[in-house]
Amino acid sequence: MSIWGMDRRTWLHRANPVIKLAVLLLLFTMTVLTHDIDFVIYQAVIFTICLVLLCGLKMWKILLFALPFLIAFVSSSSTMMLFGRGETIWWEWGLLRVSEESFYRGLHLGFKGIAFAAEGLLFVTTTSSVDLFYGLMQKLKLAPKFAYSFMASIRLLPMVWEEFLIRRQALQVRGCPPLRGVRGMIKRVGMYAVPLLAQSIRRAHRVAAAMEAEQFNGEHGRGRTYYYESRYSVYDLLIVILLTLAAAAAYMCASWYPWFGIGDVRFD
């Protein structure tokens, strides 16, 4: 089993992917439209707690997944703090200027990114791509030619990586010296890109021909039966209640226990 697989199965894994997708899209919209820094901070905190408790992964895996988002938090918030507009100047040196307004906007932007990351990882780590596309086909009537094409492309990605490793090993066996500099980098890209692209085109053609032969082109998809049936269950109601309560808890905490109490951080 892959080390990136889930370590334990929670009830969130059993919820219908379509319901999870709809609820999380609403949460994304709520986060986008939130301009209160306290509300955004509590969203980031509460959804991160939900992620840790319900994703079914060990803590070190969660931290590894969250590392790019932490880097994005530092870079985006610091950029806004150092180069944002503001009237109350705290520190200035050359082009760098930190004001009270830019500081709060930087924190707002960074925590909004953390909230997005927690919501997205909560969906990605608890949803199988196969279950998602079967749910989209059966519940939202997505055309089979699109759903099966996406699933086939996801399955082909490990093959492309394996071919890249084989190509690299073959070049090492043939004694190809390491290429340095810009010209060497361009030549190396050509040595890898052309064979991999040609092999990918051949494989894509074979997959397309096989899918058309099995009538995956959508022309006869209305009466299609499915091996995996997407059903609604009590877990769908639970996820709606849980995430609604999480959003309500973030709002109430921001109202009762504000960190900054400055409200909207945008310019008038």
Q: 245 pLDDT exceeds 90?
A: yes
pLDDT band at 15 (very low <50, low <70, confident <90, very high): confident
At 1 the pLDDT is 41
- How far apart CA 240 and CA 21 sit, in angstroms, is 11
- How far apart CA 4 and CA 192 sit, in angstroms, is 27
What average pLDDT score do residues 241-251 get? Answer: 91
Q: 219 pLDDT exceeds 80?
A: no
Q: 222 pLDDT exceeds 70?
A: no
Mean per-residue pLDDT over the chain, rounded: 79
At 252 the pLDDT is 92
Q: What three-state secondary structure class fits 267?
A: coil
Most confident range (mean pLDDT) of 14-28, 73-87, 148-162, 201-215 is 14-28
Q: Are the CB atoms for 136 and 18 separated by under 8 Å?
A: yes
Q: Are the CB atoms for 12 and 126 separated by under 8 Å?
A: yes
In this predicted structure, which of 195-204, 210-219, 256-265 has the lowest mean pLDDT? 210-219
At 260 the pLDDT is 79
Nearest to 106 by CA among 115, 98, 96: 98
pLDDT tens for each residue of 165-208: 887 787 777 777 666 766 767 777 777 777 888 887 887 777 77
- pTM (2 d.p.): 0.74
pLDDT tens for each residue of 80-114: 777 767 677 776 676 777 777 778 888 888 888 88
List the domain boundaries for the chain.
11-131+233-256, 144-213
Nearest to 126 by CA among 252, 210, 6, 264: 6
